[in-house]
Amino acid sequence: MRKSDTDEQENIKAFKNRITTVWAMDLGNIDTEIMEFWMENKKYIQKDKVMKHILFERIRTWITIKGQLEEYNDLL
């Protein structure tokens, strides 16, 4: 996929960076591997506009990949 791997890696890096720098300072001990973390911090997460932007960028990348795969499939 054209440049999609690089975009995806950048999005993942931004996601992890947001959690380790901002969320860790605001929330203290974080464990994203357990469901309780997400439930207990639902309101905080929903208010994080930067994280929303990062997630929308990931969705945009996936839509681009989907389009590229459909174009490739049409060529077959």
Average pLDDT over residues 48-59: 94
**Could you tell me the pTM of the whole model?**
0.74
Kindly provide the b/e burial profile for residues 42-52, where b requires at least 16 CB atoms within 10 angstroms of the residue's own CB.
eeeeeebeebe
Structure tokens at 47: 């208010």
54: Cβ–Cβ under 8 A, 6 or more apart, which residues? 11, 14, 15, 18
pLDDT score recorded for residue 57: 92
Structure tokens at 48: 């994080």
pLDDT score recorded for residue 76: 87
Domain boundaries, the chain: 4-75
Average pLDDT over residues 5-24: 91
What pLDDT digit, counting tens, does each position of 23-43 carry? Answer: 999 999 899 999 999 999 999
